[in-house]
Amino acid sequence: MAEIGARARADVPPGVLRGPALENFDLAYREPSPVLEDIVDYHWIVEWSVPAGEERVQPVVSHPSIHLTVESKRATVTGVVTRCFRRVLVGSGRVVGVRFRPAGFAALWTQPASGLTDDAVPAAEVLGAETADALAQVGARDPGVDADEAVRRMEAVLQGRRRPRPEGTQLVDDAVDHIVAHTDVTRVEQVARHFDVSPRTLQRRFERFLGVGPKWVIQRRRIHEALEEIEHGRAMDWSALALRLGFADQAHFVHTFTELIGQPPSSYETR
């Protein structure tokens, strides 16, 4: 297997919200091996330690991706989370995860990805008992298995399970990449026109292989942009930011942000 390299990232990646829990966990990344980079975006490893008798809540505004995680010997497949995901941390532990390319999970599962949206399902129900048993040996909490070895074991399972990707998956990957890279994209019709397909075709492909529509991806990119602007102290003028992100006005932006994050952008910035 090719060497698994570390991925350099900011201390707080877009989507991982600021809060007390950040003082109690470490987040690291690993690039996938070349044979898996068409379906895996990256591997991630979270380790935490919370004082006895206490708990920390870590909110995350997720990206348009399906994840496979192993915690202790429990493997879970989590579809795209449309709400703000909140994980309660207690004690200590480690999770080894895979963030798939937008349509990457279709190389492992033949059912519509929409069946996983906003749900976390035991891997045995999705990938079969044999694959789940193999994932249980990743060694997520084994003190004798470091993060790199755990990722290597995870990759071995994925390589043994994967199959050729169905037709239409590349369109979803390319369309999501295009939406994320081009902040001037504010409507599904722009994306469909760029790839010379109908909006309906784009919608069907997204629902089938990702689990959410392209409009949702555009909206989520806007919120991630807003969070990054706040993180870097560039979001003082909310009206200007709203227009720059493609919202109709400041009120629309504030409503969308508050509905997802749970507080207005000004309050989040202050916190």
67-71 β-sheet, strand order: 25-30, 40-49, 92-100, 67-71, 74-78, 120-122
What are the Cα distances from residue 201, in Å, to 12, 15, 115, 179, 189?
Answer: 36, 29, 19, 16, 11
Domain ranges of the chain: 20-161, 169-270
Say which amino acid occupies 145.
V
Distance of CA 246 to the CA centre of its chain: 23
Determine the topology of domain 169-270 in CATH.
Arc Repressor Mutant, subunit A (1.10.10)
- Going by their DSSP bridges, the two strands 25-30 and 40-49 should be labelled as antiparallel
pLDDT digits (tens, 9 = 90+) for 203-212: 999 999 999 9
As a whole number, mean pLDDT of residues 101-122 equals 97
Answer positive or negative: Cα dihedral of 138, 143, 145, 151: positive
Burial status of residue 74 (CB atoms within 10 A of its CB: 0-12, 13-18, 19 or more): middle
List phi, psi (to 5°) of 111.
-85, 160
Q: Matching CATH topology for 20-161 and 169-270?
A: no
Residue 21 is predicted with a pLDDT of 57
Contact 188, 178 (CB under 8 A): no
Structure pTM? 0.90
Degrees to nearest 5, angle at CA 262 with 48 and 22: 20
Say which amino acid occupies 115.
G
As a whole number, mean pLDDT of residues 135-142 equals 87
pLDDT digits (tens, 9 = 90+) for 161-199: 999 999 999 999 999 999 999 989 999 999 999 999 999
Answer positive or negative: Cα dihedral of 96, 102, 106, 109: positive
pLDDT at 8 > cutoff 60 = no
CATH of domain 20-161: 2.60.120
Residue 2 is predicted with a pLDDT of 38
As a whole number, mean pLDDT of residues 89-98 equals 91
Residue 20 is predicted with a pLDDT of 61
